Structure 1
Amino acid sequence: MCKANSGSWLVSAALLTLGPIATPGQAQITPDATLPNNSVVLPDGNVLTIDGGTEAGSNLFHSFEDFSIPTGTEAFFNNSLSIENIITRVTGGNFSDIDGLIRANGTANLFLINPNGIQFGPNASLNIGGSFLGSSAESLLFEDGSFYSATQPDASTLLTVSVPVGLQFGANPDRIVNRSIARSSFDSPVPVLPFPLSPNIDLANVGLEVRPDRTLALIGGEIQLAGGNLTASNGQIYLGSVAGEGLVNFAPTLSGWRFEKGDIVNAGNISLSNGSLLNTSGVGGGRVEIVGDTATLRDGRIFALTLGNLNGGGIEIRARELQVTEGSQISTLTLGEGRGGDIRFQVTDSVEFNGLGLENYRLVAGFYLTQGVINPFEAQIALLTGTAGTGDAGDIIIETGKLRLDNGVLGGSTTFGAGNAGNLRVRSNTFELVGSGINNGTILGSTGTGGDINIETDRLTMSSEAGLVSVTPTNGAGGDITIMATESIEMFGSPEAVFDTLISTNAFGLNGRSGNIIIDTQRLSLSGRSVIASSNGSIIGSSLLVSDAGGPGGDVTIRASESISMAGIIREDMELDSFSNIAAQTLNSSPGGNINISTPVLDVRLGLISAASLNDGDAGDITIDAGRVVLEDALVEVSVGAVAFLRDVSATGSAGELNLNADRLVVGRDARVTGLALGSGRAGNLNIAARELVLTDGGSIDASTNSGLGGNLNFKARDIQLRQQSRIETNAGNATGGNIAIDTDTLVALENSDISANSINDRGGQIAIDASGIFGTQFRDAPTPESDITATSALGAEFSGVVRIQTPDVDAASGLVALDGSTLNPSTQIQNSCAAALENRFVITGNGGLAEDPTQFLQPQTVWRDTRLGEIQSHLTLNPTGTEPEEFSVSTEPFVEATGWRTNSRGQIELVAASGNLSYSPWQPHPDCESVSQDSASTQSSGR
């Protein structure tokens, strides 16, 4: 006896350890006898009819010790049609295991509350007229303040006629699990979609389903959809997870209940996995709401598709973290006249999407960019609010601390029909886009317009072929892209990549107009194959997609309060498509957009800034306002017939205009600023104003043309330097050379650096230079190996252009002041002891002890040498510079003319006047006037 009891105790302990386990095939619906009028269960084969219960107004209360339904069994609540709410509690210690059918009469709502949890098996289904709420709460609260408790059944003896308004949870709410993939129990129609779904999705497997326009809610500890589905056509699905004590409030509505917007205190986890589906698709596309701590989708899907003329309800997720992986999808596509619902994420910490790999991403994105079509239910598309009907798509709103899309995720709001695409709005501290893309554009065959993309973040990082785009291959206009990043935007591209890392609005079909791009940040950095572009054509790698028809390109506006840096990849096999670039290009007959850049520092190394045309459309303009601009191996172009590495000499559009204002502009190693026209269109005009302009190491600024009108180059700078074969030119092939106007203080051109407006088969252009000083260059009739200024023609000198160089004419008398009074005759002021009869010379060799520069110090000692006499007789010592001079007095005696010299007692030479009491030794005899005259006469007579 004791041995048997011991074994029973061990089995019970094991069961408690493993948790409650239901026995398949065993009905477990047992009333608990806690109501004034208790529930009655009447079995009839596989049908368990539930009668009795206590009615209070329109509420019918049931109470069970156990409530489980095995496979193939039906539990039928036989309520009267006047009942609005069937309120069922489970007071025993077991969870409810339901793998059969729950049915009720009329349109009554069904509440099933079991604090020990609920599990719905693969065959579980519902056939009720109203809404369904399954919960592991302890009590149901009513509007009058009363409650119906499953843990304290005796405390709720006074049953109320009031309506339910809330759920009260205990300290450790148990989980709710759904694995149901049952077919509809009331033959609801299966939506017919114009696009194929993934093979593992079957909308006929509705799982737990309520009738159209009703609510299906699961609210418990942890909510798990492990391969199970929930369906509420045109209705509402609500999932709420509560990890501890808390209250969830709701209010009755015509479609069931409206749950409070506030976050759940002590929220728990919610997961969809193994192909689970939440589906509220219908005439008006219902609503899905998920509230928890962590929401996870692993191969899970949430569809709220609008199939008719009513507006969709949308999808909302409120959590601390949201993770979407393994081909999961969230979609509010509209296929009818109604507007699609919005997708809204309010996630405090992070939202992370992880896709199915970069290869699949490339296949889907490449097919879209080349063919203009895409299946909105491709497994790669994780997030979509699109339209395939006449109704407009909903918006995507994401508010989170960190947003990351990685490993081949596609998302956005796209139009497949006549409706317009929705907008994407992101507000996050950080936004990382890695090998993934968002497109708010249009699909080939649609007529709607693309949606806008608005991003507010501290830091945006894009890499590995990531894209933020609004692509339009149709008549519809593309959406705008606006990015506000308080700290930085960083874009990284790889030369081995199939696609660029890009921010782009692109219209490459029919008459579609590209959207605008607006970027406002502190620091913008582009490296490798990174692109910010608005164009009306498409360039993929080295391939070009261009339509002869098309709308205008959009504008690109970039404001960076600290700096903009652009850097490509340097390799031996480097091509231009390895550059980073900012572009507003036209590849068809419509005009291109403009580029506006404002920043203290613009540093472009292996980069491209292009507002160019490759067709009949006119190129746009570029305006740059910067403190310092440095260009190396870079190209800034407002060209026509040339877009980066592509050329088309048949282009007839005109080049644009460049307006560049900077404190210092450096056009360095092989960099080029150009308004080139390769076709018959006019070359561009370049207007450059800077304090200092430096061209060096092959750098050039030009507005050359082939056969169109030459462009104009206008420079206004304090200093202009051209070094190492740099060039300023408006040369032409079969047209007149362009014009160059330079206004500067100083122009320096060295090392074969030229300024030219030459032409081959027409007249040379005009060059006008107004400078205070010009150094190293001059006008020449023809180019030379020196630094030249030319406006020549290969047709001959008579076809040369005009060169006008204006420098200040210096008048030596300018500024002199006439003095009053007459001037003295110097001959009256000179003592003439005797007339000079011989010619004499005085030669100074070297600097004679003087400094070469007046700012240099004198040497402390200086030696004077008489180079004619050879040996130095004595030294003359000077006072060292910077030492205190000796005191001296100024003699007032009159000066006396020296007549000889002598050596004093210190060995110094003194100049002396003739006197009877002085003895001296002249280096040669001192002649008197008479002897000089005689000597002169004898010299003349001898013929010497």
Structure 2
Amino acid sequence: SDTVAIDRSTVSSAVEASGIGNGGNVEVNTRSLSLTNGTVLSSSTNGQGNAGGVRVDASDTVAIDRSTVSSAVEASGIGNGGNVDVNTRSLSLTNGAALSSSTSGQGNAGRIAVVSSQAVFLNNSSISTAVNSTATANQPATIEIATNQLALENHASITANTIGNGPAGNISLNADQVRIGSSSEISAATGGGAGGSIRVTANSFTASSGGKLVTTTSGSSDAGNISLLVRKDITLTGVGSGLFANTSPNSSGNGGSIFIDPLSVTIQDGAGIAVNSAGEGAGGDIKIIADTLTLNERAFISAETASNQGGNITLNVRDLLLMRHNSLISATAGTEGAGGDGGNITINARFIVGVPKENSDITANAFQGRGGNITITTNGIFGLAFRNQLTPLSDITASSQFGLDGTFTLNTPGIDPTSGLNELPEALVDAEGLVGRDACAVKQDKIAGGSSFIITGRGGLPPNPNEPLTPTAGMVEWASRDRGTPIPPVVVRDRPITNNSQTSTNIAIQQAQGWVMSADGTVILTAQAPTVTPQSPGLSHPGCHLPSGK
């Protein structure tokens, strides 16, 4: 049929209390299925035998409103529950609707599997597996959802819980976008057997307005782990929103661990990530791998314990870790009157930035135990400072109120100042070859042909890049005549040829070695350099001397 609509009705398959044998399956194959007003599709066993499965195949939509699709092992049943399978384009559960699989007897609960090509939407509804208090089970009942968009609103939930003698189921979600809002949650809790884990694979993940992922233990078993394999961004916003793998008060199990690896993580407005232990067990570990990590407006990353070893926090941030407005990263252990060592915090980030007066802290403190160790490797940390105790400023602390303080290690990768430099040739410049030996030789009617040689003194670049710059030495001007008096031009002319019968030998032509100035200001080149005393002997030019008194 194109459409199957069931209202206020029950379709079931059951093994009754006196029955021996397996129950049959409940199957629906249609284009669209609508279940309304308390309708039930179910399979169960209350006798000796396995319950049958429930299967829905709808090529277009499945809409379940105030109705239930379930598989159960009842309290007196001896056998396993059947699986619940839904295959469709779009699945919606509204107004208390439920997909469920449970066991209260001696047997395992069945699996729930949803494949929806477009969307799965839950509003004030649930998808759940449960091992109840009277049950004995040895296999977990899993929940598997594959879709394009998964959205939970208005106290909706996806849960895999156990309070009986058996492990909680695992939850596996595979979607392009996952949105959890309005106090909705995805959880795996245990009060008896091992806690279940939650694994989300998506392109983006958002939890807001109290939406959260939770694994917890209230007994002696450990809480399960949370893994978010998100390709792009994770956004946690609002009080009560976040990722939590905690233990309850009076429990003895350890907290679970949390691992996420997106490109970007934003935690804000009171949201957080925590592996806290409120009982006797140790806190779990948190590991985040991201390009950027932003904590803003009372956001927190916490691995705290009430009395045992604090959990460890590892943050590998390729670019920027930003902490604003009372944000917190904490691996604190113990309370007043209780022991426990603080956990370790390891941060690897290119830059860590906070604001000094905004009271954003990184702490690994303890009360009676030893403070934890904080190790930070970064190119630069700004706005936060290490202090022995917490202050109203932005602090980094690893202290213990009554025990030994922890340690803080800051590693700054060395930057080689010589990297990227070009190797210079080893051949030295011949300075004497560049400067003429006879600086006063006349060329083109000018001394030295109008060339000049200037000494600026010491200073400039250091001998190598690892040394500081050398301050420039003071410069002393060359001695020169008064600029207010015009300097007559140097006249070079041929000596007149005269017939002097008394001169028997020719006068040899020699290179000028000096010059003198006549009374009328004419400069006359001479064959011998006059002997004078320079005004500044240390800076006099060789071979060029100022005449005395000029």
TM, length-normalised to structure 1: 0.43
Instruction: Identify which of structures 1 and 2 has the higher relative contact order when contacts are C-alpha pairs closer than 8 Å and 6+ apart.
Output: 2
Give 1:741 deviation, angstroms.
1.4
* Aligned-partner residue type, residue 258 of structure 2: I
- Aligned counterparts, 1:23-172, within 5 A: none
* Counterpart Cα distance in 1 of 2:216 and 2:226: 10
Alignment correspondent of 1:383: 41
* Counterpart Cα distance in 2 of 1:930 and 1:413: 114
Q: What do residues 351-380 of structure 1 show as CA deviations (whole Å, max 9, x unaligned)?
A: 00011xxxxxxxxxxxxxxxxxxxxxxxx3
- Aligned counterparts, 1:256-271, within 5 A: none
* Aligned-partner residue type, residue 610 of structure 1: F
- Aligned counterparts, 1:817-836, within 5 A: none
Alignment correspondent of 2:450: 893
- Aligned counterparts, 1:269-280, within 5 A: none
Gaps of 5+ in 1: 1-318, 356-379, 494-499, 538-549, 569-578, 642-650, 754-776, 830-890, 903-910, 919-928, 933-944
| Structure 1 counterpart of 2:260, from 609, 624, 627 | 624
Contact 2:364 2:406 in 1 (8 A): no
Give 1:387 deviation, angstroms.
1.0
* Counterpart Cα distance in 2 of 1:350 and 1:811: 68
Give 1:783 deviation, angstroms.
5.1
Gaps of 5+ in 2: 437-447, 454-477, 490-519, 523-532, 537-550
Alignment correspondent of 1:726: 360
* Counterpart Cα distance in 2 of 1:811 and 1:660: 30
Q: Name the CA shift for 1:564/1:722 in 2 (closer, same or farther; >3 Å).
A: same
Q: Is the aligned partner of 1:675 residue 2:356?
A: no
* Aligned-partner residue type, residue 747 of structure 1: G
Higher-Rg member (1/2): 1
Give 1:808 deviation, angstroms.
6.6
* Aligned-partner residue type, residue 265 of structure 2: V
Alignment correspondent of 2:237: 605
* Counterpart Cα distance in 2 of 1:660 and 1:625: 6
Contact 1:900 1:913 in 2 (8 A): no
Contact 1:470 1:504 in 2 (8 A): yes
* Aligned-partner residue type, residue 702 of structure 1: S
| Structure 1 counterpart of 2:217, from 583, 586, 590 | 586
SS of residue in 2 equivalent to 1:386: strand
Contact 2:377 2:413 in 1 (8 A): no
| Structure 1 counterpart of 2:100, from 432, 439, 445 | 439
Contact 2:366 2:400 in 1 (8 A): no
Give 1:337 deviation, angstroms.
1.4
* Counterpart Cα distance in 1 of 2:406 and 2:88: 60
Alignment correspondent of 2:275: 638
Alignment correspondent of 1:394: 52
* Counterpart Cα distance in 2 of 1:428 and 1:734: 57
* Counterpart Cα distance in 2 of 1:821 and 1:748: 44
Q: Is the aligned partner of 1:414 residue 2:42?
A: no
| Structure 1 counterpart of 2:3, from 304, 321, 324 | 321
Alignment correspondent of 1:657: 285
SS of residue in 2 equivalent to 1:383: strand
* Counterpart Cα distance in 2 of 1:715 and 1:899: 69
Q: What do residues 325-360 of structure 1 show as CA deviations (whole Å, max 9, x unaligned)?
A: 1x211011111111111011110x2000011xxxxx
* Aligned-partner residue type, residue 584 of structure 1: T
| Structure 1 counterpart of 2:25, from 333, 337, 342 | 342
Q: Name the CA shift for 1:805/1:610 in 2 (closer, same or farther; >3 Å).
A: closer
Q: What do residues 536-559 of structure 1 show as CA deviations (whole Å, max 9, x unaligned)?
A: 15xxxxxxxxxxxx1111111110
Q: Name the CA shift for 1:385/1:694 in 2 (closer, same or farther; >3 Å).
A: same
* Counterpart Cα distance in 1 of 2:152 and 2:416: 59
- Aligned counterparts, 1:481-496, within 5 A: 481-485=143-147, 487-493=148-154
* Aligned-partner residue type, residue 556 of structure 1: I
Q: Is the aligned partner of 1:501 residue 2:156?
A: yes
SS of residue in 2 equivalent to 1:476: coil
Give 1:810 deviation, angstroms.
8.5
Q: What do residues 102-149 of structure 1 show as CA deviations (whole Å, max 9, x unaligned)?
A: xxxxxxxxxxxxxxxxxxxxxxxxxxxxxxxxxxxxxxxxxxxxxxxx
* Counterpart Cα distance in 2 of 1:588 and 1:604: 28
Give 1:588 deviation, angstroms.
1.3
Contact 2:374 2:398 in 1 (8 A): no
- Aligned counterparts, 1:726-805, within 5 A: 726-744=360-378, 746-750=379-383, 753=384, 777=385, 779-780=386-387, 787-794=394-401, 799-805=404-410
Give 1:455 deviation, angstroms.
0.6
Q: What do residues 478-516 of structure 1 show as CA deviations (whole Å, max 9, x unaligned)?
A: 51100111x2111111xxxxxx300111112x3232111
Q: Is the aligned partner of 1:687 residue 2:326?
A: no
* Aligned-partner residue type, residue 222 of structure 2: P
* Counterpart Cα distance in 2 of 1:589 and 1:912: 106
Contact 1:516 1:556 in 2 (8 A): yes
Give 1:423 deviation, angstroms.
0.4
Q: Percent same amino acid at aligned positions? A: 24
Q: What do residues 761-807 of structure 1 show as CA deviations (whole Å, max 9, x unaligned)?
A: xxxxxxxxxxxxxxxx4x555555555544445559xx544444444
Q: Is the aligned partner of 1:454 residue 2:113?
A: yes
Alignment correspondent of 2:331: 703
Alignment correspondent of 1:906: none
Q: Name the CA shift for 1:342/1:782 in 2 (closer, same or farther; >3 Å).
A: closer
Alignment correspondent of 2:11: 330
* Aligned-partner residue type, residue 566 of structure 1: A
Q: Name the CA shift for 1:792/1:451 in 2 (closer, same or farther; >3 Å).
A: closer
Contact 2:373 2:407 in 1 (8 A): no
SS of residue in 2 equivalent to 1:655: coil
* Counterpart Cα distance in 2 of 1:455 and 1:612: 28
SS of residue in 1 equivalent to 2:297: coil
Q: Name the CA shift for 1:431/1:795 in 2 (closer, same or farther; >3 Å).
A: closer
* Counterpart Cα distance in 1 of 2:124 and 2:486: 97
Contact 1:476 1:513 in 2 (8 A): no
Alignment correspondent of 2:198: 556
* Aligned-partner residue type, residue 749 of structure 1: F
* Counterpart Cα distance in 1 of 2:142 and 2:427: 79
Contact 2:398 2:405 in 1 (8 A): yes
Q: What do residues 405-429 of structure 1 show as CA deviations (whole Å, max 9, x unaligned)?
A: 4442122101102222110111101
SS of residue in 1 equivalent to 2:79: coil
Contact 1:899 1:914 in 2 (8 A): no
* Aligned-partner residue type, residue 325 of structure 2: D
| Structure 2 counterpart of 1:522, from 176, 179, 196 | 176
Q: Name the CA shift for 1:385/1:639 in 2 (closer, same or farther; >3 Å).
A: same
Contact 1:900 1:914 in 2 (8 A): no
* Aligned-partner residue type, residue 27 of structure 2: R
TM, length-normalised to structure 2: 0.72
Q: Is the aligned partner of 1:472 residue 2:131?
A: yes
Count of aligned positions: 439
Alignment correspondent of 1:935: none
* Counterpart Cα distance in 1 of 2:62 and 2:168: 27
* Aligned-partner residue type, residue 242 of structure 2: L
* Counterpart Cα distance in 2 of 1:472 and 1:590: 15
